[in-house]
Amino acid sequence: MTEPEAKVLPKSPQPSDEGKLNLRRWGDFYRALINNDEGTIGVVVRILRANFRDHRKGYLISFGFLFVVAAMTSLSAWIMRDVVNQIFVAQDVRMLWVLSIGVMVIFIVKGFATYGQIVVQSRIGNRIVAENQKRFYDRCLTFGLDFFTDRASSELIMSISRGSNAIRSILDTIVLSLGRDLVTLIGLIFVMVYQAPLMSLIALVFAPIAIMFVTRLVKRIRNISKSEFTSSTQIVAIIQETVHGAKMVKAFGLANHMRDRLGEAVSQVEQRANKVSQLQARTSPLMESLGGISIGLVILYAGWATISAGKTPGEFMSFITALLLAYEPAKRLARMNVGIAESLIAVRALFDILDHPASVTEADDKPALQLTRGKIELDNVGFGYRKKDRVLHGVSLSVDHGERLALVGPSGGGKSTILSLIQRFYDVQEGAVRVDGQDIRTVSVASLRHQIAFVSQDVFLFSGTVADNIRVGRLGATDAEVEQAARDAFAYDFIQGLPQGFQSNVGENGVQLSGGQRQRIAIARAILKNAPILLLDEATSALDSESERMIQIALDKLVEGRTTIVIAHRLATILNADKIAVIERGRVVEVGTHPELVGMSGVYEKLYRYQFDEGKIERAIA
């Protein structure tokens, strides 16, 4: 299936730490996001095109059951004429049995057809929700880091959950409205017109009034639903902040502040949900009033016709039964557009994510990287996360197979950005990054990242066991290989001390473990991957001195025979590096070995003297 034409989403606001909940910003964002659509009919057509076709066999079965239900409903009204005329007027005993059994059969068949339709429709609906959620997630995996840094996760959570269910709701509404309500209404109108044409005209004259009223309601409900969706997204964002920032909430006494923020968002959702319910409910008094007037006029005319014009009571009974049975499907059809309008808000949010163009950095249609030595070159690289805000300026560096390049310098100088560019999380805007002479923009992203093991200072652990998180390095690794990697990372002893050892659950993002423990699991993960290129971003930053010494021994063994780039703030850990590059304000200001750089009396020498003097003070205090 071809990809839809790409649309660029507006940047979403990030969760605010301000005391007042700024719903206006979220409202502006979602107005821009939701109004970027093909119109109601276009979105509905797209839903049908993308989902109905794949499940057409199931829907045909569902339609078959619905037609049976509609036919039995119309037949139950039709048979009322003979019930009255043959049983109560003519008092025919034989027809008493025939018609009684006939009524039983009609409702038994209707009951089984309804059961079959519900089962089939539910299975199709559940499958559609699952398929759209998978499609949404697959699409998200094609986006680069810039997509996720520009958007709040609450936006994605709301889109995948409510959007997928909204698609199901719209399809169910359309199928039930066309297959059951419309067909039933047509059949009952046929019965009404056949039995009493003039009474049918009286009953149907009020239909246009109902249609005009419902059309007005749809516009109001659509606007309110947009605001409700926005507030619901903010609720998810606040809960996420509370969970991930639980320590800060407790430490700074923010419980009341967070409670107020959530309370305001919840109140907004409650008020708007009440408003939507109130607007939807307005169809009931309208339909009840118009229906009551219609039925009253019909009874008045039918009574006169039966008493004065010699009409049979059976005709009247059949007509009035059809009229009463037609009331519910007519009311549901009148409210169909209202329900669809409310669901379309979430569907458009989901579609806008699906239509967002895949990131160039994630395209995997290039030839595989041909790794020979693992030499990395940065050739006059320029880069900025925003066009006007450059992070790197003309950076040129190289590190060959078996060498260790250390990047040092003040924080914010661009060291971590260099590692991100090597892994092609972002594309350079000037110059090139090459591996064994191949521009990484010309090779498969998967093949590039397969050759790289990365340890970040911001360790992320997945929900699951310790073994699962180490096995992320190589998903097919055996238990023995996982345990050996843990030993090499000096993590085996603390893991064995956990309640269930390697099968202990780490909690969300490793909340059950200390920072140093999480760091050692990340190092074990890199060891298990056994990649020829190793990137270390402050890999020992969360460790105490003794653990750092042990890990340094493990890393010294790990880097043997590998191309290694390491970022370090503690210069003592990289004194033996083959090459040290000092990065300051996005530029390479010094390059050399430790003795060479100290002899230059430049930036590196100042950093080293500062840490050396600091170390002497610490040892003196100890």
Residue 269's identity, in one-letter code, is V
Mean pLDDT rounded to a whole number for the chain: 78
CB 579 within 8 A of CB 593: yes
Burial tier of 223 (Cβ tally within 10 Å: 0-12, 13-18, 19+): middle
Task: Starting at the earlier edge strand, list the strands of the sheet with 563-567.
Answer: 452-455, 533-537, 563-567, 404-408, 579-584, 587-592
Task: Dump pLDDT digits (tens) for 444-463.
Answer: 998 999 999 998 888 888 88
Greater confidence (621 vs 453) lies with: 453
H or E stretch including 127?
helix 93-140
172 with 210, same domain: the answer is: yes
45 with 115, same domain: the answer is: yes
CATH number at residue 134: 1.20.1560.10
105 with 172, same domain: the answer is: yes
Which residues have C-beta within 8 Å of that of residue 590, sequence separation ≥ 6?
580, 581, 582, 597, 600, 602, 603, 604
- Tell me what the mean pLDDT of segment 545-551 comes to: 73
CB 236 within 8 A of CB 26: no
Domain count, the chain: 2
Task: Dump pLDDT digits (tens) for 136-171.
Answer: 888 888 888 778 877 777 778 888 888 888 888 888
Is the pLDDT assigned to residue 441 strictly greater than 80? yes
Q: What DSSP string runs through 325-388?
A: HHHHHHHHHHHHHHHHHHHHHHHHHHHHHHHSPPPGGG---SPPP--SS--EEEEEEEE-SBTT
Task: Dump pLDDT digits (tens) for 218-252.
Answer: 566 666 666 666 667 777 777 767 766 676 677 66
What CA–CA distance (Å, rounded) separates 340 from 343?
5
- How many Å is the Cα radius of gyration of the chain? 35
pLDDT of residue 12: 45
Report the predicted TM-score, pTM, of the whole model to 2 decimal places.
Answer: 0.71
Question: For residue 60, which phi and psi values (nearest 5 degrees)?
Answer: -65, -40
Which of 290, 325, 359 terminates a domain? The answer is 359
CB 62 within 8 A of CB 120: yes
Residue 409's identity, in one-letter code, is G
Percent with pLDDT over 70 in the chain: 76
Residue 556's identity, in one-letter code, is D
* Residue 501, domain member (yes or no): no
Task: Dump pLDDT digits (tens) for 178-208.
Answer: 777 788 878 877 877 777 777 777 666 665 5
Q: Which region, left, alpha or beta, applies to residue 616 given φ > 0 means left and ψ of -120 to 50 means alpha? A: alpha
Helix (H, G, I), strand (E, B) or coil at 272: helix
Q: How many CB atoms lie within 10 A of CB 549?
A: 13
What CA–CA distance (Å, rounded) separates 244 from 133?
24
Question: For residue 189, which phi and psi values (nearest 5 degrees)?
Answer: -65, -40
β-bridge mates for residue 591, sequence order: 581
189 with 275, same domain: the answer is: yes
* Residue 155, domain member (yes or no): yes
- Tell me what the mean pLDDT of segment 8-25 comes to: 44
What CA–CA distance (Å, rounded) separates 275 from 221?
8
pLDDT of residue 197: 76
* Residue 547, domain member (yes or no): no
Range of the domain at 117: 23-359
Helix (H, G, I), strand (E, B) or coil at 39: coil
CATH number at residue 382: 3.40.50.300
What CA–CA distance (Å, rounded) separates 253 from 73?
63
Which of 359, 388, 423 terminates a domain? The answer is 359
Task: Dump pLDDT digits (tens) for 509-534.
Answer: 777 888 788 888 888 998 899 899 99
